């Protein structure tokens, strides 16, 4: 279709509308469900606008399954109640987070099916337990007519307008579907969508918008979006969907797909255009259920969406029917929970910790709570702004989150549980350890103690950093020992480590002669190191392991690094102005140079190498004179290119001139070049030289 016929008669318009909808439906499925876009966005938009235009001119052609109808409804006063044709059940939950959670379920199923040890294992389908909201999608003649929440299982709420805005949910199904089909699944919000939404919310709040808030977690954000009365607002909340079951269904027409198992049912739903999680697996017997539980548990943090466990379902629909229900729960399914990643606890104190670079971090001391598989007693509040934003106070009841290996954090406060008379947290303006001024520089999020190595907290951290495995590695030098050494005034600076004697060490608490000797041996061993480890160990701000390696490779020798100007440092691959400046600042401090010298004097050593051969720039050492009009380059452009390649540009021709670059209507400079025997290039010749090609 190249042109748009403005005077199309309704039959033509109807045909075109149908054609456009078909294309847009197919594309939406590819884009939202399969994640394989087949049309450029601009083309999709063009077709969409064409459809909108046709529907505006022929409103009688608008149907609820048109892609234009995803957003467009009016704001509601309240949601209508929907009585579910088939009740929406819940699942029995197994909170035992050991393998036994799966084994007990399998044992129960086998008992109820009267299977004995000799019988074959039962086949199950194992699925993630998505952390969102259950939804019933009703299709009549293949068209989405209603979406309803679970509610109390008997009666839910009609949230069709909001659910239509979810791109992953098909508005129309292929022709072979049953006349009445209810698909059930979970509406949820992906973590990246959640982060982006909260970022937008924060910007709105910062811009002074009233009534806006950020969301605590993806589940709450999804629930808020689904229960949003204004579909235009719901449309801005990016939701997703996974199908996992059926509600009411009329018999599948002759020749249509049939299914004897839950797994086949899910494949059919996928075929009809519904998103089905790729993590759904068939599992044979208890052993495979346990394996699934463990695998998904490990993958949990990388899934892109929150889950709170897995669900096991008996695969055979015939067996499901035999097993039946107890009260509101099917006997054939169970939810096996993972350890919760968020828990409630109370704040016992708010401490301020001092890091290696002097950074002050507010930390909430918590009543011990089991979360994410470990007992947590501390949670970071990150910095002043975060602590203020969350407004965490002494005695507050807070949500603590620990996901994967991430440091536990306070997510939010339960304001209703706050004790009266509490004060907001304020960051101290002096270092809680050494009393030096703590300063927050403009544009920085953190307060820093200005005490440097005068501050014992920074000294301890600096020593631990230097001694860690990734730096020079002093085996056995842990934080307890460093506390004793620094607090006891035994060591003040890094080099003091190498001046420790057996007597001083053996006099420490809980230090036997043997362990003292082991530590001395470890210190001795650490003296033979490598340049990257040593550099990293110095704890220069912004100099991590990768940067230390790049510096060592580039310069070869420590003295060269210490002497390098910011410009020279910037020549190192991956080093930018912040790191270059930080290196310069560090080595400009006499006491830092002194530490390096003393460490060397104590015998810390490494192999130095030659500096990296730097590729000579193609035009270095060459002088150019430009004359006449070049075919494509302006004078200034040519000059910039030459200089960037290491060459110089002069104004007049002399014997020192390496090349004259001549264009049209070149005059006396060209004559002079010919007279002096200076080589003459045209623009093409210059380009060839810039690329390092010999002319
Ligand atoms: S099946 C009869 N499968 O868990 C079984 N539910 O109490 C009906 N859920 O609110 C549910 N992931 O929203 C099923 N893969 C999954 C699920 C799942 C999450 C939720 C569902 C319901 C609750 C069950």
Q: Is any atom of ligand 1 closer than 6 Å to the C-beta of 121? A: no
How far is CA 380 from its chain centroid? 19
**Any atom of ligand 1 within 6 Å of the Cβ of 129:** yes
Closest residue to atom 6 of ligand 1, CA basis: 129
H/E stretch holding 249 reads: strand 240-249
pLDDT computed for residue 2 by the predictor: 44
pLDDT digits (tens, 9 = 90+) for 524-536: 999 999 999 999 9
Q: By mean pLDDT, which of 12-16, 294-298, 611-615 is the weakest?
A: 611-615
The pair of structure tokens assigned to 24 is 């847009």
Question: Can you give the pLDDT at residue 45?
Answer: 82
Mean pLDDT of 72-76: 71
Asked if pLDDT for residue 3 goes beyond 50, the answer is no
Average pLDDT over all residues of the chain: 89
In this predicted structure, what is the pLDDT of residue 253?
A: 62
Residue 555 pLDDT exceeds 90: yes
- Ligand 1 lined by 33 (C-beta under 6 Å): no
* pTM assigned to the model: 0.62
Query: H or E stretch including 282?
Result: strand 281-284
* Cα–Cα distance measured from residue 104 to residue 290, given in angstroms and rounded to the nearest whole number: 11
Confidence of residue 96 (pLDDT cuts 50, 70, 90): confident
Structural domains present in the chain: 4-30+39-62 (1.10.287.610), 94-337 (3.30.470.30), 341-417 (2.40.50.140), 452-526 (1.10.150.20), 531-601 (1.10.150.20), 623-690 (3.40.50.10190)
Those residues whose C-beta lies under 8 Å from the C-beta of residue 423, and which sit 6 or more positions away, are 393, 394
The tokens for 354 are 């001092």
How far is the centre of ligand 1, averaged over its atoms, from the C-alpha of 32 (Å)?
22
**Tens digits of residue pLDDT in 208-259:** 888 888 888 899 899 989 988 888 888 889 999 999 999 999 886 665 567 8
Q: Tell me: pLDDT of 406 over 90.
A: no
Q: Does ligand 1 lie within 6 Å of residue 89's CB atom?
A: yes
β-bridge partners, 242: 186
Question: Tokens representing 344?
Answer: 């409630």
Residue 468 corresponds to which tokens in the numbers above?
């860690």
Instruction: Give catalytic residue positions.
Output: 129
Nearest CA owner, ligand 1 atom 3: 244
Q: Is 187 helix (H, G, I), strand (E, B) or coil?
A: strand
> Cα–Cα distance between 403 and 297 in angstroms, integer?
11
Q: pLDDT tens digits, residue range 584-629?
A: 999 998 888 999 999 999 999 999 888 776 666 778 778 899 999 9
pLDDT at 431: 94
Kindly give the distance from the C-alpha atom of residue 318 to the centroid of ligand 1, in angstroms, as a whole number.
20
Between 292-306, 399-413, 530-544, the lowest mean confidence (pLDDT) is in: 399-413
Higher-scoring residue by pLDDT: 285, 617: 285
Percent of the chain with pLDDT over 90: 59
Atom of ligand 1 nearest to the CA of 186: 13
How far, in Å, CA of 138 to CA of 85, rounded? 10
Tokens found for residue 650: 């002069």
- Please state the atom number of ligand 1 nearest to the C-alpha of residue 133: 13
Evaluate: CB of 379 within 6 angstroms of ligand 1: no
- For residue 693, name the pLDDT band (cuts at 50, 70, 90): low
Q: How far is the CA of 330 from the centre of ligand 1 (A)?
A: 11
pLDDT tens per residue across span 430-479 = 999 999 999 998 888 899 998 887 899 999 999 999 999 999 999 999 99
Residue 142 CB partners (closer than 8 Å, separation 6+): 172, 173, 174, 175, 177, 181
């Amino acid at each position: 279709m190249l042109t748009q016929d403005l005077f199309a008669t309704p039959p033509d318009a109807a045909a075109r509308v149908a054609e456009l909808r078909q294309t847009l439906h197919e594309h939406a499925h590819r884009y939202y469900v399969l994640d394989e876009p087949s049309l450029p966005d601009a083309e999709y938009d063009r077709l969409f606008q064409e459809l909108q235009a046709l529907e505006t001119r022929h409103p009688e052609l608008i149907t609820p399954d048109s892609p234009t109808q995803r957003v467009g409804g009016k704001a509601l006063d309240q949601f209508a109640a929907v009585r579910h044709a088939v009740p929406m059940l819940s699942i029995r939950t197994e909170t035992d987070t050991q393998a036994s959670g799966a084994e007990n379920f399998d044992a129960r199923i086998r008992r109820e099916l009267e299977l004995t040890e000799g019988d074959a294992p039962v086949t199950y389908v194992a699925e993630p337990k998505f952390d969102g909201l259950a939804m019933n999608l009703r299709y009549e003649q293949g068209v989405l007519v209603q979406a309803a929440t679970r509610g109390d299982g008997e009666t839910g709420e009609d949230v069709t307008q909001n659910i239509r805005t979810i791109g992953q949910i098909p508005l129309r199904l292929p022709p072979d579907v049953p006349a009445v089909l209810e698909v059930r699944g979970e509406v949820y919000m992906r973590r990246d969508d959640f982060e982006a939404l909260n970022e937008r919310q924060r910007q709105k709040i910062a811009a002074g918008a009233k009534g806006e808030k950020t969301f605590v977690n993806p589940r709450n954000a999804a629930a808020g979006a689904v229960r949003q009365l204004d579909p235009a607002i719901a449309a801005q909340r990016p939701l997703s969907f996974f199908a996992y079951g059926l509600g009411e269904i009329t018999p599948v027409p002759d020749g249509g797909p049939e299914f004897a198992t839950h797994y086949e049912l899910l494949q059919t739903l996928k075929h009809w255009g519904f998103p089905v999680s790729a993590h759904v697996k068939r599992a044979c017997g208890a052993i495979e259920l346990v394996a699934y539980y463990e695998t998904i548990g490990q993958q949990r943090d990388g899934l892109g969406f929150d889950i709170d466990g897995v669900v096991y379902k008996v695969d055979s629909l015939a067996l499901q029917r035999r097993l039946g229900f107890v009260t509101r729960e099917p006997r054939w399914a169970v939810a096996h929970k993972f350890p919760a990643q968020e828990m409630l606890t109370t704040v016992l104190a708010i401490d301020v910790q001092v890091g290696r670079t002097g950074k002050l971090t507010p930390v909430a001391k918590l009543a011990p709570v089991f979360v994410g598989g470990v007992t947590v007693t501390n949670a970071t509040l990150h910095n002043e702004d975060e602590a203020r934003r969350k407004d965490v106070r002494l005695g507050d009841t807070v949500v603590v989150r620990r996901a994967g290996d991430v440091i536990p954090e306070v997510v939010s406060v339960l304001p209703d549980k706050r004790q009266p008379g509490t004060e907001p947290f304020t960051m101290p303006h002096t270092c809680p350890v050494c009393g030096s001024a703590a300063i927050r520089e403009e544009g920085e999020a953190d307060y820093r103690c200005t005490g440097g190595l005068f501050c014992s907290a920074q000294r301890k951290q600096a020593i631990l950093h230097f001694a860690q495995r990734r730096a020079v590695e002093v085996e056995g030098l842990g934080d307890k020992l460093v506390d004793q050494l620094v607090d006891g005034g035994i060591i003040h600076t890094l080099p003091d480590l190498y001046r420790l004697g057996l007597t001083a060490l053996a006099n420490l608490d809980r230090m036997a002669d043997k362990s003292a000797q082991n530590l001395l041996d470890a210190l001795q061993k650490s003296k033979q190191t490598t340049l990257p480890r040593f550099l990293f160990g110095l704890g220069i701000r912004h100099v991590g392991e990768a940067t230390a390696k790049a510096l060592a490779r580039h310069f070869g020798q420590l003295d060269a690094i210490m002497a390098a100007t910011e410009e020279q440092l910037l020549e190192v691959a991956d080093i930018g102005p912040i790191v270059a400046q930080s290196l310069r600042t560090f080595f400009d401090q006499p006491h830092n140079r002194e530490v390096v010298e003393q460490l060397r004097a104590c015998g810390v050593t490494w192999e130095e190498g030659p500096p990296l051969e730097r590729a000579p720039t193609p035009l270095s050492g060459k002088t150019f004179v430009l004359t006449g009009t070049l075919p494509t380059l302006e004078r200034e452009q040519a000059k910039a290119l030459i200089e960037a390649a290491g060459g110089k540009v002069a104004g007049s021709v002399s014997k020192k001139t390496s090349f004259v670059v001549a264009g049209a209507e070149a005059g006396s400079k060209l004559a002079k070049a010919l007279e002096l025997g200076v080589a003459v290039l045209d623009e093409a010749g210059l380009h060839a030289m810039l690329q390092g090609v010999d002319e």
